[in-house]
């Protein structure tokens, strides 16, 4: 099952503003880009055209693995505002 189908069973309350900001100028210099592989929700991808990192923040499971794995501190990483984001019903 792909991550998008799995995320569809979760309860999300999406904010209008992203809680993670990618500093593209840093990412362009990064060869490794481990963010593309670590995200359990598969939310990071790379633009074919601009080579920029694309982040679909609305499916974020808020694990923080992208913040930990980023070798260059390129993410301005916050939790979603209070009351927003994923709401686990089982946990």
Segment contacting another protein (CB under 8 A): 21-29, 47-55, 74-82? Answer: 74-82
Does position 42 interact with another protein (CB under 8 A)? The reply is yes
Identify whether the C-beta of residue 39 lies closer than 8 Å to the C-beta of residue 69. Answer: no
Query: Of 22-30, 34-42, 46-54, which segment contacts another protein by CB under 8 A?
Result: 34-42
Residue of 24, 62, 72, 76 that binds another protein (CB under 8 A): 62
DSSP code string of 4-33: HHHHTTS-EE--SS-SEEE-HHHHTT-S--
Contact between 80 and another protein per CB under 8 A: yes
């Amino acid at each position: 099952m792909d991550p998008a189908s799995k995320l569809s069973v979760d309860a999300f309350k999406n904010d209008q503003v992203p809680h993670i900001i990618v500093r593209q100028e840093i990412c362009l210099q990064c060869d490794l880009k481990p963010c593309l592989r670590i995200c359990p929700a598969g939310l990071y991808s790379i633009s074919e055209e601009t080579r920029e990192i694309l982040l679909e923040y609305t499916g974020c499971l808020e694990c923080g693995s992208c913040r930990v794995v980023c070798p260059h501190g390129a993410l301005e990483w916050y939790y979603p505002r209070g009351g927003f984001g994923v709401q686990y019903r089982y946990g």
